[in-house]
């Protein structure tokens, strides 16, 4: 599986940054790392299932088209 490309968003140099008055303001752990990691794993699993589905679907379609073409070519006229 290839790595997803990551392109950072451009920074707005004129945006005012918030002032941090204490360490508690800086430590913003609303979503635990494990929840983020689990959601990422679920998303990747869904992509894998979707990819497998389309591989199987297009493989069947390709085989069906090839059999249609070969039967049309072998038909006596």
Residue 5 lies in a domain: no
Q: Region 40-56: what's the mean pLDDT?
A: 77
Say what the pTM is. 0.28
Residue 1 lies in a domain: no
Residue 20 lies in a domain: no
pLDDT for residue 12 is more than 80: yes
**DSSP H or E run through 68:** helix 33-74
Share of the chain above pLDDT 70, in %: 62
DSSP string, 2-23: PPPP--PPPP-TTSPPPPP-SH
pLDDT band at 47 (very low <50, low <70, confident <90, very high): confident
Q: How many domains does the chain have?
A: 1
**Which residues span the domain enclosing 68?**
34-74
pLDDT for residue 21 is more than 60: yes
């Amino acid at each position: 599986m290839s790595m997803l490309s990551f392109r950072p968003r451009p920074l707005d140099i004129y945006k005012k940054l918030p002032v941090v008055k204490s360490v508690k303001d800086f430590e913003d752990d609303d979503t635990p790392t494990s929840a983020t990691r689990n959601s990422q794993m679920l998303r990747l699993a869904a992509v894998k299932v979707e990819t497998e589905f389309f591989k199987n679907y297009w493989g069947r379609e390709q085989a069906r088209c090839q059999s249609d073409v070969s039967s049309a070519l072998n038909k006596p006229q």
